[in-house]
Amino acid sequence: MSNELFQIDPREYPDLDVYAVIGNPIAHSLSPEIHSQFATQTQQKIHYGKIFCELGGFKRVVEVFFARGGMGLNVTVPFKSEAFNLCTKLTDRAWAAGAVNVLTKVQGIYCGDNSDGVGLVRDLEQASCSFLASNILIIGAGGAVQGTVLPLMEKFPARIVIANRTLEKAQKVVERFNNEATRHQVEIKAISIADLTKENQAFDLIINCTSSGLNHQSPLTDDLAKHLVNLSQQEKKDTLVYEMVYGKITPFLEQFNALGSRTRDGFGMLVEQAAVAFESWISVEKDQKLDTFTVLQGLREKFQN
């Protein structure tokens, strides 16, 4: 029996619009804190909570939530694929990702979006990252990568390289996005992580989309990280190294910090993807643009103390 008993009944909040994040586990989620700050900024009357869902119970819990008046759900691991399969209507980016993390029900139809990749792009823009004609390295080939590729392509980089320990998985990602790559005139390539030593072009942006940091590991050896940094130095590029894991200095970040690279963790992505969801649910006036910077700074200070 799990000790995570987070549940939300929208009927208990008759004067508020009720939203929640659903997952397993869910106790660690910062989504309620983030969305509450957005609601305060825009003077919206909402309640945002957490829902712990047992494996195998996702569809039933979602049905009950919306039947009782719930307005929208953020979906986190391990239910993003189930949310995708539940939806009749999908945004292009949700379809491309094969996963849904923003779920609504409109006129009896489940509608799904994926805000992860857009959240990443927004955070990178906050870090003054320039995408146009850039050379991007994405490490990993899982669901996080699939949610990231299309939003990056829409910024028209010159080249995206998908590197994974198993080459075949990287090739499957490339095959999935070949048509989009052609449409956006972006070169997309698969490579094994080991073969990155053969790369002779510097990257403007390196993104670790693996979960290795959660296990205090890095997908790269120290020598390989040094090779990538040397390429940047040779071409005098200010490469930005991005780690999707947030709230800790992972071995991946430690490697590049030690080599003097500009680095950034995934806290900003967390806040920005939440902003995308909030904006899709609630009509935010142009003069009420969400202040994601203040929310992000507050979270960073909280984790540092």
Angle at 147 between CA 185 and CA 299, to 5 degrees: 120
How would you label 107-121 residue by residue, b for 16+ Cβ within 10 Å and e otherwise? eeebbbbbbbbbbbb
DSSP state of 68: T
How would you label 212-244 residue by residue, b for 16+ Cβ within 10 Å and e otherwise? bbeeeebbbeeebbeebbebbeeeebebbbbbb
Rounded-to-integer distance, Cα 130 and Cα 33, Å = 30
| Residue among 45, 50, 59, 80 flagged as catalytic | 80
Rounded-to-integer distance, Cα 275 and Cα 297, Å = 15
- The verdict on whether 80 is a catalytic residue reads yes
Alpha carbon separation from 27 to 33, 144, 175, 196 (Å, rounded) = 12, 21, 37, 38
* Enzyme catalytic residues: 80
